Structure 1
Amino acid sequence: MSGFSGHEAGPYEALRRGRAAVDRLASRLAVNGGTLREVTATQVLLAEASPRVCFQEFTSAEEAKAGADWMWWWVDRGGTCFGLLAQAKILKVSGRRWTVDFGYTTKGHPQSQIAKLIEAAEPYSVPAAYILYCGDRKYRATLECSRTHGGVPCRDRERVGVSVACALAVQEAAKFHQSAAVVEVFHDAVPLEDIASPVEGLDEPIRSLARELDEELARFLRQPQRGARRVAKELLRPLERIRLGQFASAATLERAAPAAGALFRDVADQGHFSVPYLDHVLRGLRTGVPDYVRDVMDGRTPPAAVTDRFGGIVVITDADALG
């Protein structure tokens, strides 16, 4: 257990420190013919980000069954929080071919790992995501993406060595882009350290095709956000872009049972995703901290229903703090 004590750094700086440590390790391993592994990368990331970022690590024995690694929670100073269930993946290259094995299956479990990840998130009413370990700029030198970010070539972006990608967006990329899915996912991934507490600029408005949006939700999509709210908005952003490319006639707002404490309700536009994408992401945005997250914050061990299922829990407190 690594607990949070003091405010010597904001969440951005703590995660930047962790990401830089992972980048250095990946670079050193590559020079010596080694390969970074997901478990090691996560341990280095969190160890370097602590004590500002607190975490508990559990057994990973259930990973193959659940299709998930860690639960991540961003908790704002006012108590609003956002959680996601994340699978760690390494961006791999062989020659000039880039891969991430999103379609991985395990013996006796024909369901793909991405489908299991989305399914595993259901009982906890959080969205599914991937934490991508993408190496440093030298490692990404042959990754081809013709698009830019603020005039910077996609592969040369700063801070993307550890990034976050929504699992539904990954699922769509795997379905429609096949061998180019990795490039598509990498382009849409958000640097982990930027996702809640950016140091550059404000997030852009999101245009939604869903009809009958509650005014509070419409305002959330239009206005800049910080902390837990920003994490939810950035996870939703690539899905809304994909949704705009689907048939507008299918943009109906179905009604669904809301997650307990959900900040937004009745947000179940299905589109052509495998699950209603608005509900899938926004159910993770809560008005209060779940008990098992509070356990980690207070130094207690969560119940077995949590510890037996995941590799661990990460809690980023004061997620809306500057820096």
Structure 2
Amino acid sequence: MVNMLDAGHIWHEEAATQLLLSTAQPRIRFKKFTVNEEKEDGADWLWWWVDRDGTSYGLLVQAKILKRKGKRWSIDFTYKTKGDDRTQLSKLIRAANRFEVAAAYVLYCGDPEYRATLACDRTHGDALCKERDRVGVSTISALVAETAVSRYGKDSGVAAFHDAVPVEDIANPDSLDTPIVPLARGLAEDFDRFLRQPQTGSRRVAKELLRPVQQIRNGQFAGAAVMQRADPVSGAFFQDIPNDYGHFSVPYLTHMLRGLRADAPDYVRDVLEGRTPPAWVTDHVGGIVVIPDADAPSTTAGRIAGGVERLILLDSPDAPQPLRDHPGQVA
């Protein structure tokens, strides 16, 4: 992104993906398919974290650029395909149902110089929002984007950027993991413990993606949280959570946490063990990329060895890839 800016141009997600894949091989493994479902699904990839014990968290992800035009900053969450009245955002949230995961965005936001005129005066610790470290490639739940659009309209890009979490930080064991305080009371013991106690690996990722969503819900004038229990999702880590909507379009706890699994889905295992996933997966993704934890040995004999593996299923052959290499780690 910085190189393109230095050359006087904006970056493009497709070019960044091609550069990353060609440069990172053979460290990462990837395979492309011919299907392109982005028009229908509004998504670029299906993204999984897989722990050594099989605990996994999945997201259906669309990549977006934080764009500037004069003094206006925007992210086109409400983009519509010609001849289709549905927004890409609404299609993304609906399409996540196919894989029973959360819908999310990865945001390409440039460097601090690019963001110098961004009008967000809120802070993150001691840093202004626009000056945060590592925020050039960040992620948010689609529910955060949905709320930003309904509250701020054309200024939704700045609001969403403020709530976005750097990709490196969502699984960072060194960053502060403060409790999430829900509105609902009488939660199941395992779910309450997840919210209030520090987490690692896939559980940490799920918690950090949920955090901004829960903060938005806590600020909504939608009455007390609904205590009715949601229908359990087969294989989900938590089977007893409230069916609370707040002002979101879907029950937010179910949506955000259905992708947290005690075991990786079979099609994820297929990829890790060298098999081709079934047609219902390959018909809806344009490629598969497996990125192992930098400190972990390679996966062998069907086992997930050491640390966390990050599995990304690209939904378009040219879909953007948000991860950036740093010395000693894969971001």
TM-score relative to the length of structure 2:
0.83
Contact preservation (8 Å) 1:270, 1:277: yes
110, 113, 129: which one pairs with 1:138? Answer: 113
Contact preservation (8 Å) 2:169, 2:175: no
Matched residue type, 2:7: N
Alpha-carbon deviation of 1:72?
0.5
Which residue matches 2:200?
226
Alignment of 1:76-91 (within 5 A): 76-91=51-66
Matched residue type, 1:99: S
Structure 1: give runs of 5+ residues left out of the alignment. Answer: 1-25
Task: Check if 1:297 corresponds to 2:272.
Answer: yes
Which residue matches 1:33?
8
Which residue matches 2:83?
108
Which stretch shifts more, 213-222 or 31-40? 31-40
Task: Check if 1:155 corresponds to 2:144.
Answer: no
CA displacement 1:16-41 (0-9 Å, x = unmatched): xxxxxxxxxx1222232322112222
Q: CA RMSD in A?
A: 2.2
Alignment of 1:179-258 (within 5 A): 179-198=154-173, 200-247=174-221, 249-258=223-232
- Shift in CA distance, 56/258, structure 1 to aligned 2, threshold 3 Å: farther
Matched residue type, 1:279: T
Contact preservation (8 Å) 2:291, 2:309: no
Contact preservation (8 Å) 1:197, 1:319: no
| Higher fraction of helix | 1
CA displacement 1:85-126 (0-9 Å, x = unmatched): 000111111112111110001123211100000000002110
Structure 2: give runs of 5+ residues left out of the alignment. Answer: 293-306, 311-327
Which residue matches 2:315?
none
Alignment of 1:116-127 (within 5 A): 116-127=91-102
Alpha-carbon deviation of 1:270?
1.5
Contact preservation (8 Å) 1:73, 1:82: yes
CA distance in 1, matches of 2:86, 2:6: 36
Task: Check if 1:275 corresponds to 2:264.
Answer: no
Alpha-carbon deviation of 1:137?
1.5
Contact preservation (8 Å) 1:73, 1:316: no
CA displacement 1:44-66 (0-9 Å, x = unmatched): 44555666655444345211111
TM-score relative to the length of structure 1:
0.85
Matched residue type, 1:95: G
Contact preservation (8 Å) 1:131, 1:162: yes
Which residue matches 1:262?
236
CA displacement 1:217-263 (0-9 Å, x = unmatched): 11100111111001100111011111111236341133333222111
Matched position secondary structure for 2:249: coil
- Shift in CA distance, 45/278, structure 1 to aligned 2, threshold 3 Å: farther
CA distance in 2, matches of 1:231, 1:314: 19
Matched residue type, 1:30: L
Matched residue type, 1:319: V
Matched residue type, 1:203: D
CA distance in 2, matches of 1:30, 1:174: 27
- Shift in CA distance, 140/126, structure 1 to aligned 2, threshold 3 Å: same
Matched residue type, 1:87: Q
Which stretch shifts more, 309-318 or 216-225? 309-318
CA distance in 1, matches of 2:128, 2:182: 27
Alpha-carbon deviation of 1:127?
0.2
CA distance in 2, matches of 1:247, 1:191: 29
Matched residue type, 2:203: R
- Shift in CA distance, 203/252, structure 1 to aligned 2, threshold 3 Å: same
CA distance in 2, matches of 1:224, 1:242: 21
Task: Check if 1:173 corresponds to 2:148.
Answer: yes
- Shift in CA distance, 248/76, structure 1 to aligned 2, threshold 3 Å: same
Which residue matches 2:308?
319
| Number of corresponding residues | 297
Which stretch shifts more, 291-300 or 64-73? 291-300
Contact preservation (8 Å) 1:205, 1:223: yes
CA distance in 2, matches of 1:58, 1:193: 28
CA distance in 2, matches of 1:98, 1:152: 20
